[in-house]
Chain A
Amino acid sequence: MATLELRNVNKTYGAGLPDTLKNIELSIKEGEFLILVGPSGCGKSTLMNCIAGLENITGGAIMIDDQDVSGLSPKDRDIAMVFQSYALYPTMSVRENIEFGLKIRKMPRADIDEEVARVAKLLQIEHLLNRKPGQLSGGQQQRVAMGRALARRPKIYLFDEPLSNLDAKLRVEMRTEMKLMHQRLKTTTVYVTHDQIEAMTLGDKVAVMKDGIIQQFGTPKQIYNDPANLFVASFIGSPPMNFIPLRLQRKDGRLLALLDSGQARCELPMSMDDAGLEDREVILGLRPEQIVLASADAAGMPTIRAEVQVTEPTGPDTLVFVQLNEAKVCCRLAPDVAPQVGETLTLQFDPAKVLLFDAKTGERLGTAASLPVQDRADNVTRIKGR
């Protein structure tokens, strides 16, 4: 159990080459579950290797329990890691795999046996202890890899895309199991994934990365509801947020976004009214679940009639696509609505939930202050819907 803090961590593979990691700043408390998420090549695995000590950083400091470990070798950092490929030692049995780190650390035999028994019970792999990794299924190998990490009771667990080699069903099962395990063990964990659902469901804190830079660091809720920029907004959420490029206009002193479905027009009043927004090219962001069928009791909300172009019934929801301005917009409707293609629906928006992004830079617009990338305090409340 430990705290982890990254202070201005930089990593480059040589002068003249682009930075692999740039000014990484984040900190998590004891027992927290941190997710590093981003597309491939964003530097999340490099960052994890740096925390583990498998790669050296070129600037900054990595603090574990307020002690700078950036000069220490991996074995002295008291960290355990689960690899995407599991990296089980192929010539050793499951028991030997789990014991290996304990033996190297010269733990007494009796303690080793006790520890192996504890871990095997925890992960329900007692019956596999004498098998070789090659004789195990993917899911079993995954458990053994976890067991090897759990056995040492390290200060911090690192998980490098541990579920990505499992099939879809097993992945969901193991996801739940990992969450349960973390709730029980309460060990500080860093978890790398490119799967935004894993990021949302597992993390206490999420760091969204792109091009070696942390785009946003916060709770899953903050990341989802309050994305710092277009990239975060588009990366998190499935189906992804709708983006409608348009130009804001002022009418009767109110800032408006004009939406056009081809059948009707709608003046969507903006909840924010910062200087410089008027007449500016922006991208309007709306999550699919924030577009609903117009209902009688929500009078006063802006509505628009639009023709259904495609429907995708997923079971729990029906995704309906309509055309608004130049964009194909996805709406997440209840399955019992089940509109037909060509049918016209009346849709309703909540202006308070609409997000605005700069069309050129992708930065979030129209909040009280420009959004800080780092969000150390959990209780930051943003002024929304003034």
Chain B
Amino acid sequence: MTSLAGKSAISLSRIAIYAVLIFAVLLYLVPLVVMLLTSFKTPEDISTGNLLSWPAVVTGIGWVKAWATVDGYFWNSIKITVPAVLVSTAIGALNGYVLSMWRFRGSQLFFGLLLFGCFLPFQTVLLPASFTLGKMGLASTTTGLVFVHIVYGLAFTTLFFRNYYVSIPDALVKAARLDGAGFFTIFRMIILPMSTPIIMVCLIWQFTQIWNDFLFGVVFSSGDSQPITVALNNLVNTSTGVKEYNVDMAAAMIAGLPTLLVYVVAGKYFVRGLTAGAVKG
């Protein structure tokens, strides 16, 4: 299209399409712009100015204050999210491997039941989960919260890996068995190296879910072990003193940055077809 210089490249419909697209992009960017601008304003500036106006004085005070408030909770979130993501992904991979390549009697039913986990709303598991955590002596601990996230995430991670692995031909596993490899050797040396795309999908999904979680965080943790989402809520909902919107906005940005970072870093591994051509037929 573009190679045809002249009229066809800049037609009226093309201009219309781009206009609509640019409008949509701007619309989506407005909240981010407002947040960014507000976070760099002084409280006085915010109360007098307009939402989209440029800061009268650009100041980082909001960010400094925000970081001072959420600092500890940010690391809490890291401590919760990283182990929960890694463990749920690892177990999900193993589950998917078994459910697709080492089927047993009733494995289809097992998988079907597991899928129900994907449809369970958070609220329904709150009571049973807190009961179980209490019995295990893990109530209000970071370990307990991690455990809940792992269990809740397993339904999703298993689904991801199982659906990815069913497309890998059985013959690979058969060949490896004849070569003398056992269950875990096949998983480690043949299957896992082929799993990069789905591992990335799973990591992104789980990271986003767990980092952004509020409900489990507010229910299963307390005081200084709460995740950043809960801390952010507490900060924004304080009713004492003057509302410092610049701090709120900066804190919200800090809370949202890690997920953004994960998308940017891991997104490029979203490559499909790494196995293409290896197996014909």
Contacts and interface: CB of A to CB of B under 8 A. Distances in A.
A104 B280 contact: no
A165 B281 contact: yes
B280 A141 contact: yes
A79 B178 contact: yes
A132 B278 CA distance: 8
A335 interface: no
A90 B189 CA distance: 11
Given A91-B193, A104-B179, A84 B174 contact: no
Contacts of A81: 174-175, 178
Contact of B274 (A73, A90, A92, A165): A90
A89 B172 contact: yes
A217 B181 CA distance: 34
B174 A87 contact: yes
A80 interface: yes
Chain B interface size range = 20 to 34
A138 B276 CA distance: 13
A222 interface: no
Q: Name, among A83, A88, A89, A164, the residue most crowded by chain B CB atoms within 10 Å (CB to CB).
A: A89
Contacts of A86: 171, 279-280
Interface string A181-207: 000000000000000000000000000
Contacts of A80: 178
Contact of A90 (B178, B182, B279): B279
Interface string B116-150: 00000000000000000000000000000000000
Interface string B244-281: 00000000000000000000000000000011111111
B196 to A, nearest CB: 9
Contact of B280 (A75, A85, A135, A148): A85
A9 to B, nearest CB: 19
B176 A133 contact: no
Contacts of B189: 89, 100
A215 B117 CA distance: 51
A75 B179 contact: yes
Contacts of B172: 87, 89
Interface in B22-48: none
A313 interface: no
A171 B182 CA distance: 33
A80 to B, nearest CB: 6
A54 interface: yes
A49 to B, nearest CB: 8
B171 A133 contact: no
B50 interface: no
B177 A134 contact: no
Contacts of B185: 104
A205 B266 CA distance: 56
A52 interface: yes
Contacts of B56: none
Interface of A: 49, 52-54, 73-75, 79-81, 83-92, 100-101, 104-105, 132-135, 138, 141, 148, 152, 164-165
Given A53-B178, A74-B177, A100-B179, 11 more contacts: A52-B178, A54-B174, A54-B177, A75-B180, A81-B174, A87-B175, A89-B172, A104-B179, A138-B280, A148-B175, A165-B280
30 contacts: A49-B174, A75-B177, A75-B182, A81-B175, A81-B178, A83-B174, A84-B171, A84-B281, A85-B171, A86-B279, A87-B171, A88-B278, A89-B190, A90-B275, A90-B277, A90-B279, A91-B190, A91-B274, A91-B275, A100-B176, A100-B181, A100-B189, A104-B179, A104-B180, A104-B181, A104-B185, A132-B278, A133-B277, A133-B278, A165-B281
